[in-house]
């Protein structure tokens, strides 16, 4: 059985986006969980409840749908209670349906923690990331970062950064991804990398910039000396100190 993350971990997702979509996460979790419910009768009751709750969440102003959603969810919860009373302490036949009932009650973090145990992390994570409803967002990068152990907030921040700057050249996006995976992508770094993107570097200059960004000591020393020879002593000092803002200038000094 997959152990996964606690509910407190999943609870971080709604906090990183003011557009977190309840209808999306409810529908997404329902689609993943319902096929896992073994009992045909219980599965059908779960499908009916999920359908009306999603309809209500997509049209929250409807009093009729709100009442129907509450009743359907209540019926499912009552059914599960009756079934639990007949189930032995060490074997539950309703684990999946319990996860769905938590979803339909709006207890998404608890539902995710429960569902992750039998679904695994990837499908639940995809549902939550999709529900963020973020524009110009690199979903695949965010999921890779979370899978690598980064906290949701940091991973989402990197996903937004890369999504925003999707027009950057491929070599620079690769640098961004590498830094994000290493946990070294912050606003100052993004600003500096943006200068490299605007510098319109030739392929040869881009290779130099990549080596400078990777911390190649020989290239940094040679580029700093070149800057000093051109009277750019401040930029040379910054480059030696690891200041990425000097990288674009140093790279552009390479003959085309």
The pLDDT tens digits for 216-251 are 899 999 999 988 888 889 989 989 988 887 888 888
Q: Which of 70-74, 87-91, 243-247 has the lowest mean pLDDT?
A: 87-91
DSSP symbol at 15: G
pLDDT band at 127 (very low <50, low <70, confident <90, very high): very high
Q: How far apart are CA 112 and CA 102, in angstroms?
A: 9
pLDDT of residue 90: 41
Long-range Cβ pairs for the range 46-55 (8 Å, 24+): 46/76, 46/97, 46/100, 48/72, 49/73, 49/75, 49/76, 49/100, 49/104, 50/26, 50/100, 50/103, 50/104, 53/26, 53/104, 54/23, 54/26, 54/27, 54/30
Residue ranges of alpha helices (H) inside 34-120 are 40-58, 63-85, 95-104, 108-119
Q: What is the mean pLDDT of residues 26-52?
A: 95
Q: What is the mean pLDDT of residues 45-66?
A: 96
Contacts of 63 (CB under 8 A, 6+ apart): none
pLDDT band at 103 (very low <50, low <70, confident <90, very high): very high
- Does the pLDDT at position 3 exceed 80? no
pLDDT of residue 91: 46
The proportion of the chain whose per-residue pLDDT surpasses 90, expressed as a percent, equals 44
- Does the pLDDT at position 1 exceed 50? no
Of 117 and 183, the structure prediction assigns the larger pLDDT to 117
Of 134 and 106, the structure prediction assigns the larger pLDDT to 106
Q: How far apart are CA 219 and CA 242, in angstroms?
A: 12
Q: What is the mean pLDDT of residues 16-32?
A: 94
Using an 8 Å Cβ cutoff, are 118 and 38 in contact? no
pLDDT band at 89 (very low <50, low <70, confident <90, very high): very low
């Amino acid at each position: 059985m997959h152990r996964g993350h606690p509910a407190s971990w999943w609870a971080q997702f709604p906090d990183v986006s003011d557009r977190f979509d309840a209808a999306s996460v409810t529908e997404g979790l329902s689609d993943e969980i319902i096929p896992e419910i073994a009992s045909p009768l219980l599965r059908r009751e779960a499908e009916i409840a999920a359908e009306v709750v999603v309809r209500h969440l997509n049209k929250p102003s409807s009093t009729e749908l709100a009442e129907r959603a509450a009743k359907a969810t209540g019926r499912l919860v009552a059914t599960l209670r009756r079934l639990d009373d007949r189930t032995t302490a060490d074997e539950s036949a309703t684990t999946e349906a319990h996860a769905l009932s938590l979803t339909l009650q709006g207890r998404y973090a608890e539902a995710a923690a429960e569902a992750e145990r039998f679904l695994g992390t990837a499908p639940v994570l995809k549902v939550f990331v999709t529900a963020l409803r973020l524009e110009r967002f690199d979903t695949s990068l965010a999921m890779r970062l979370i899978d690598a152990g980064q906290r949701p907030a940091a991973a989402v921040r990197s996903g937004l950064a890369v999504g925003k700057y999707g027009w950057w050249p491929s070599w620079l996006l690769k640098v961004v991804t590498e830094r994000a995976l290493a946990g070294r992508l912050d606003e100052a770094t993004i600003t500096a990398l943006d200068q490299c993107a605007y510098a319109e570097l030739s392929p040869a200059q881009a290779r130099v910039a990549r080596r400078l960004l990777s911390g190649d000591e020989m290239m940094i020393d040679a580029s700093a000396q070149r800057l000093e020879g051109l009277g750019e002593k401040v930029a040379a000092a910054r480059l030696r100190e690891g200041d990425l803002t000097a990288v674009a200038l140093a790279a552009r000094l390479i003959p085309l």
